[in-house]
Structure 1
Amino acid sequence: MVMPNIGAFIAWGLITALFIEKGWLNSGGTGGLAANSWVAQIGGWGDFKDGGIVGPMITYLLPLLIGYTGGKNIYDVRGGVVGAIATMGVIAGTDIPMFMGAMIMGPLGGWTMKKIDAIWDGKIRPGFEMLVNNFSAGIWGMILALAGFFAMGPVVEAFSKAASQVVQFLVNHGLLPLTSILIEPAKILFLNNAINHGILTPLGTNEAVDKGKSILFLLEANPGPGLGLLLAFAIFGKGLAKGSAPGAAIIHFLGGIHEIYFPYVLMKPKLIAAVILGGMSGVFTNVLFGSGLRAPAAPGSIIAVLLQTANDSYVGVILSVIVATAVTFAVASLLLKTDRADDEGDLAAATAQMEANKGKKSSVASSLTGAAAGAGVATEGHSGSIHKIVFACDAGMGSSAMGASVLRRKVKAAGHDDVTVVNKAISTLSDEWDLVVTHQDLTDRARQRTGSAVHVSVDNFMNSPRYDEIVDLLGRTNGSETPAAVVTPTTVAAGSTSGARDGHTVTGHDDAPQGGVLHRDGIELSGRARTRDEAIEEAGRLLVVQGAVDDAYVASMHERERSVSTYMGNLLAIPHGTNEAKSSIRRTALSFVRYADPVDWNGSEVKFAVGIAGAGDDHLTLLASLAQVFLDEQQVARLEAATSPEEVQEILSTVQAQA
């Protein structure tokens, strides 16, 4: 709720830094400008104490933005509007900036409005929709605003004041540095935004209103611990970690993207001691000098920190960064130099774990692993040519089938007719394969069963660049029998029918799609889901309605998504259950849901969710066809424009016939 509105916090912080009574344009509060000047009008001091911009922004604008965003996250714009109305109630019912109240009332307004709308969904007579929707939102918003004014506001105000007293107790007794014991590990686990913007920012903002600055804005945002850690790796690290650390340090310190150093700690967890001690020393320095920021520094760049530093705090803030860097560097260097481990640590695996903690793709992960990925597929542990490739996933009924179909076409088009590409569940693998392709979260499990194979990790099943690297590897190890430049469509089509139908193996495209697999009753062209979990539920319920699965299977679809994402790339996700849930499948079936507005699927956009229940392998041919559809922009456009379930079936059937 806070992160999308950080720009507003920065705007408020800059206005505060410039125009308040102790601001830059008032010569640090020494009377540099007259109290009735335009600076005083904007800052709301002197003769204009009740006016200005600073007070109204912190009292009304920022909480309302948070409340609106919270409601919108739950129930789109309608939820945001009701969330903002509800937030206004707690704002009016208190005399402090009501950030915590906004974080409660905003999502509450969106969630309750969504539940109320569900009561009469599909029951409103045509022509009365706008009347019912507008008045229901207005009436319910009024009720929540009154509840916020009389009930929630006083409760949250009391909690906020109690929390402020706890913080003041820690400051008065010199215990504030101990908060780093919780904050630094929480950052590594991606609880940093919850702690910083959910707790510290509201408390710090209240303190900044009264005192002009707050040390709380620096408890999590100090870039010193991360910089010290990365400098230690740059000097005393090994391999990829040592080579990538200098670039990561620049991104962290100047760009403010702290998550870039998290994989280094995940790779060697004992280094958490270094960042904790560095964080504690930085907080202690700020306590010693009484320094603080006027507003949150987001992102946590040294540039943002200095821009928000109070006029009397530059010495303390700069020293806190230097001291935190030095302490972290000293402790991390000692730990790295005395490390008895023979291996350098797997930075790529640590980066994948970091992204799993985050719940979506990291914008800076390529800075750590991109160089390695660009070098092509490594073949350590395997010698000789590659003829048997397996695409493995958890259940073997969906993701691997589509990925194998895409990779098989690329392999055949490159002229490697002696190479087979099949798909299987990881639990069925044995050490007989030359190359194994898996989702990055499953690679370690696959290595345990196929230790002598080449292993390739992907995060995009439809158009991963690793597929081209595999083809290049085949050219180096096997040689190309048919130059790719002279491969004809007939050659590709002929090649695409190779492969054995073995358990969960995807083979050719010579079978017609089964009408009972993708039935018209399982196709929904106007999906209502707003979130990933809602989309999974919607796709799963269509399978239940068709009588293909029990209710327990839908729960297993959510369980599957929590372990490994079913996002395929190119706007497509294929949610399906775990391997253990196959007993809940009555017959093979697919469901097809299209969304007008993309659903956020762990940071990627999804417009099509295809639910899968595979009792045997009769759905795999259609999945292979589906993969070819989503590699073709024209076919995707046809699916987006389809107006009936029969048209969707016809599009997939056409591709099937052409394959």
Structure 2
Amino acid sequence: MIVREKITSKLQEFGRFLSRMVMPNIGAFITWGIITTLFNPKGWLPNASLSQLINPMILYLLPILIAYSGGRVVAGTRGGVVGVIGTMGLIVGSEIPMFIGAMIMGPLGGLIIKKVDQVIKEKVPTGFEMLTGNFSAGIVGTFLIIFAYKAAGPAIFWMTQALEYVVDIVVKHDLLFFTAIFIEPAKVLFLNNAINHGVLSPLGIQESLATGKSIFFLLETNPGPGLGVVLAYWVYGKGQIKQTAPGAAIIHFLGGIHEIYFPYILLNPALFIAVILGGMMGIFAFEILGCGLVATPSPGSIFAVLALAPKNSFVAVIIGVVLSTFASFSISGLILKRKTDWNVDPEETEETSIFKDYKGDYEISKIYFACDAGMGSSAMGASLLTKLLSQYNLDIPVANIAIDEIPRDADVVITFTDLVGRARKQAPLALHVGIKDFLDKQQYEQLLDEIIEHCTILEVKMENKKPTEILMKSNIILNQVSVTKEQAIERAGKLLFESGYVGEGYIQGMQAREEKFSTYIGNGVAIPHGENNVKELILASGIVVIQYPNGIDFGENKWAKLVIGIAGKGNEHIQLLANIAEAIEETEILEKMLTTSDPEYIYQLFSSEEMHF
């Protein structure tokens, strides 16, 4: 069991990594899909002029976007740039869309430049950071693009050809519907991103470019199998599960949030048979009718699916979805009609406090709702919880977020039960709540009842906050995992806002200043602060200190291990800067600030009388 969980977790993480390359660019894929659907010679509105956009987008734009996103995930902006340089070598050296190549070369470029920066950053003389940074990226990019053009490109081309050959055999022998045996269970186990973005989408793009459509875009995204299961619960179910089924059906089929039906299957694992057979029926119908889509629909809503269906596949896609729904519904009905006990396992109904492992009073300032991608199901869950909080008159912000982006200092994290292990790795000290059904209001009510009983709710609205000192101990955050520059600045700004020093618009002012002038001051320290036009949003002078031992890339080979967010009211801004400069003046003190695990050290340093705070 433990081995299986570890393997599943690793596969989920891999799928999440792939989705971080693809998901930010889904809009561009949909744009290409719409243009292809409308303007290609066999489209809804054939247009010879506009159809010239199709090939350049698929050959150049989309792989470059993927490569940049992949490199940026690994090493920020520099990683994205170097990843794109390497990918251009693949593109120029091949006549096929290099999506698989971009998914490899983008992160590889980011990893190489990250390692190079780590080696040379301590050896760069002061004043030569920009020169060294630009030339290191240029030299790495030169070697990488030549390597991609001469070696990696041909290798990836032949790998792609071999994969296509295997798939072609499966398709020619009408065996594609057997893939549902793997795809449908994998979706329920949250491996959909690994399957869809890692395998099916690249294959689909290759086929779509050659034939104008591809069945591979329908294999994982078909909403029919899941819809059949939920409809069966609506008809044959009892109690709470029957009541939630209609809402789940609407959210799944029209909203495209497939995760909503996963708990319904996990409640009765025999229903895996239903979605597998439903998926097989849908794929079989798609094959017989010769239909496909021009791009990956995301989310998998019926609206998105039909929007990307070419004219000659529109009706066929509807037929395939209906047949897969009917098959899944029929099998699910047979299984559920045989179910006699609709009560939950007594061990599961035993009320166990989620605070049983926590002693004393637990402080909560924010709740994070997490899912694999941080958009669909978590956004829905966050919305439902926010409405319930207002009914309880609880003023706690709720944010939806991807699991891999959960802050290490999070207070409460809610996610699917099967994803709690991954969430706990991101925020080991947080209170983790696993839920099986995002629509089950009772789970939220139990959580809120226990929050009222066990927790102190930390007010975060600026009108209720009265900062008592310029630096509070709660605003010294140490040993954080590296993020992007923009994320680091946003986090510092949020701390200033949540502590009552500034209004919320101040964060945008901090980002705007960074775009114009770097706030990196050298020696591993950055001091992000707002532009002059947001001065009126400063309510009280204050600073926040966040330590990133592995550094934040502030561009041009400038790595900040200490990010000090600043808000200075009136002329106190200058005094704050002077005091910070004084604190980091001595090398020994600065080095300890960059590496200490004791927040008290930094607090005492900035609170001493000599600092004039």
TM-score (norm. length: structure 1): 0.57
Contact between 2:217 and 2:292, CA under 8 Å: does it hold in 1? yes
- Which residue number corresponds to residue 129 of structure 1? 129
> Is residue 439 from structure 1 mapped to residue 432 from structure 2 by the alignment?
yes
Tell me by how many angstroms 1:5 deviates: 0.5
Q: Does 2:14 match 1:14?
A: no
> What amino acid does structure 1 have at the position aligned with 2:372?
K
Question: For residues 6-85 of structure 1, what are the structure 2 equivalents within 5 Å?
Answer: 6-26=26-46, 39-43=47-51, 52-85=52-85
Q: Distance in 2 between matches of 1:282 and 1:184?
A: 12
Aligned residue in 2 for 1:211: 211
Match of residue 649 from structure 1: 603
Alpha-carbon RMSD? 4.8
The whole-number CA distance in structure 2 between the counterparts of 1:219 and 1:161 is 21
1:275 equivalent in alignment to 2:291? no
Encode CA deviations 1:51-105: one digit per residue, 9 max, x unaligned: x211110000000000000000011111111111111111111110000000000
Which residue does 1:106 correspond to in 2? 106
Cα pair distance change 1:458/1:101, threshold 3 Å: farther
Q: Following the alignment from structure 1 to structure 2, what is the Cα–Cα distance between the partners of residues 369 and 226?
A: 24
Q: Report the CA distance shift for 1:648/1:105 in structure 2 as closer, same or farther (over 3 A).
A: same
- Is the aligned partner of 1:200 residue 2:200? yes
Larger CA deviation: 243-252 vs 58-67 = 243-252
Residue in 2 that maps onto 1:494: none
Q: CA deviation at 1:259?
A: 1.2
Q: Is 1:438–1:458's contact at 8 Å kept on the other side of the alignment?
A: no
Query: Is contact 2:479-2:547 (8 Å) kept?
Result: no
Q: Distance in 1 between matches of 2:238 and 2:71?
A: 47
Equivalent-residue separation in structure 1 for 2:113 and 2:99 (angstroms) = 21
Please show how residues 528-607 of structure 1 align to structure 2 within 5 Å: 529-530=482-483
Contact map agreement 1:234 1:245 (CA 8 A) in 2: yes
Alignment check: 8 A CA contact 1:260 1:365 kept: no
In 1: Cα distance, 2:159 partner to 2:119 partner: 34
Name 1:358's counterpart in structure 2.
Answer: 372
Deviation, structure 1 residue 195:
1.1
Q: Deviations over 1:124-160 (max 9, x none)?
A: 1111110000110011011111111111111111111
Amino acid at match of 2:50: I
The residue type equivalent to 2:23 in the other structure is: M
Q: Which runs of 5+ in 1 are unaligned?
A: 27-38, 44-51, 377-397, 404-436, 444-454, 473-517, 536-568, 572-592, 598-605, 612-633, 655-659
- Partner of residue 238, structure 1: 238
Please list, as runs of the form range in 1=range in 2, the aligned pairs for 1:81-96 lying within 5 A after superposition: 81-96=81-96
Contact 1:241/1:347 (<8 A) preserved: no
Q: Secondary structure at the match of 2:121?
A: coil
Please state how far the C-alpha of 1:272 moved relative to its aligned partner.
1.4
Contact 1:9–1:296, Cα closer than 8 Å, also in 2: yes
Residue 24 of structure 1 contacts residue 311 of structure 1 at CA under 8 Å; is this kept in 2?
A: yes
Q: Is residue 470 of structure 1 aligned with residue 447 of structure 2?
A: no
Kept in 2: contact 1:42–1:53 (CA 8 A)? yes
The structural deviation recorded for 1:362 is: 2.1
Q: What are the Cα deviations for residues 621-647 of structure 1, in whole angstroms up to 9, with x where unaligned?
A: xxxxxxxxxxxxx9xxx9x99945689
The C-alpha deviation readout for 1:153-186, integer Å capped at 9, x for no partner, is 1111111112112222111111101101111111
- Which residue type is aligned with residue 470 of structure 1? E
**Amino acid corresponding to residue 195 of structure 1 in structure 2:** I
Residue aligning to 2:259: 259
Offset of residue 107 of structure 1: 0.3
Deviation at 1:284, TM superposition (A): 0.4
Corresponding position of 2:167: 167
- C-alpha distance in 1, partners of 2:234/2:146? 57
- 8 Å CA contact 2:215–2:286 kept in 1: the answer is yes
Higher relative contact order (CA 8 A, sep 6+): 2
Preserved contact between residue 205 and residue 295 of structure 1 (Cα < 8 Å): yes
Letter in 1 for 2:453: I
Q: Which residue of 1 aligns with 2:6?
A: none
Match in the other structure for 1:318:
318
CA contact (8 A) 1:86 1:141 kept: yes
| Structure label with greater radius of gyration | 1
CA distance 1:242–1:610, shift in 2 (3 Å): farther
CA distance in 1, matches of 2:240, 2:546: 38
SS at match of 1:126: coil
CA–CA separation in structure 1 for the residues paired with 2:43 and 2:235: 41
Do the aligned partners of residues 339 and 296 (structure 1) sit closer, same or farther apart at CA in structure 2, a change above 3 Å counting?
Answer: same
Does the Cα contact within 8 Å between 2:480 and 2:546 map onto a contact in 1? no
CA contact (8 A) 1:207 1:214 kept: yes
Q: CA 1:119 to 1:255, structure 2 compared with 1: closer, same or farther past 3 Å?
A: same
The one-character-per-residue Cα deviations of 1:241-273 (angstroms, maximum 9, x if unpaired) are 222221121111111111111122222222111
Given that residues 63 and 97 in structure 2 are in contact (C-alpha distance below 8 angstroms), is that contact kept between their aligned partners in structure 1? yes
> Once the 2 structures are TM-superposed, how far is the Cα of residue 218 of structure 1 from its aligned partner?
0.3
Q: Return closer, same or farther for 1:95/1:276 CA change in 2, 3 Å cut-off.
A: same
For residues 309-355 of structure 1, the C-alpha deviation after alignment (integer angstroms, 9 at most, x for no partner) is 12111222101110111111111122222124341477999xx9xx8
SS in 2 for 1:439: strand
What secondary structure sits across from 1:213 in the alignment? coil
Equivalent AA in structure 2 for residue 329 of structure 1: F
> In the TM superposition, what is the alpha-carbon distance from 1:3 to its structure 2 partner?
1.1
1 CA distance for matches of 2:165 and 2:222? 23
Which residue pairs with 1:452 in the alignment? Answer: none
Change (3 A) 1:266 1:375: farther
Deviates more, 1:289-298 or 1:236-245: 236-245
Q: Which residue of 1 aligns with 2:468?
A: none
Q: Could you tell me the percent identity over the aligned residues?
A: 46
Distance 1:610 1:263, change over 3 A: farther
CA separation of 1:157 and 1:607: change in aligned 2, threshold 3 A: farther
Contact 2:229 2:274 in 1 (8 A): yes
Displacement of 1:468? 5.4
Q: How does 1:290-309 map to 2 (within 5 A)?
A: 290-309=290-309
Q: Could you list the per-position Cα deviations for residues 597-632 of structure 1 after superposition, in whole angstroms to 9, with x for gaps in the alignment?
A: 9xxxxxxxx985799xxxxxxxxxxxxxxxxxxxxx
SS of aligned partner of 1:97: coil
Q: Is the 8 A contact 1:79 1:113 kept in 2?
A: yes
Residues 478 and 546 in structure 2, CA contact (< 8 A), matched pair in contact too? no
4+ runs deviating over 4 angstroms: 344-349, 366-376, 455-459, 464-468, 523-528, 593-597, 606-611, 644-648, 650-654
Which amino acid in the other structure matches residue 12 of structure 1? W
Amino acid at match of 2:191: L
Report if aligned partners of 2:371, 2:378 keep a CA contact under 8 Å in 1. no
Q: What letter is aligned with 1:283?
A: I
Counterpart CA distance in 2 for 1:166 and 1:212 is 21
Shift of 1:357: 7.7
Aligned to 2:300, what secondary structure does the other structure show? Answer: coil
Of the structure 1 ranges 189-198 and 334-343, higher mean CA displacement relative to structure 2 is found in 334-343
- CA 248–287 in structure 1, closer or farther in 2 if over 3 Å, else same: same
Contact conserved, 1:68 with 1:84, CA < 8 A, in 2?
Answer: yes
Listed as ranges, the matches of 1:513-532 within 5 Å are 529-530=482-483
What TM-score comes out, normalization by structure 2 length?
0.61
Aligned equivalents of 1:347, 1:258: Cα separation in 2: 26
Q: Letter of the 2:236 partner, please give it.
A: F
Is the contact between residue 527 and residue 594 of structure 1 (CA under 8 Å) also seen in structure 2? no
CA–CA separation in structure 1 for the residues paired with 2:134 and 2:191 = 37
CA deviations 1:331-386 (Å, max 9, x no partner) are: 1122222124341477999xx9xx8883868223358888998998xxxxxxxxxx
Q: Which amino acid aligns with 2:114?
A: K
Aligned AA (1:331) = I
Contact 2:83–2:107 (CA under 8 A) maintained in structure 1: yes
Letter in 2 for 1:440: V
Note closer, same or farther for the CA distance 1:188–1:368 as it changes in structure 2 (3 Å cut). farther
Sort the Cα spacing of 1:240 and 1:221 in 2 relative to 1 into closer, same or farther, 3 A. same
Contact 1:184 1:275 in 2 (8 A): yes
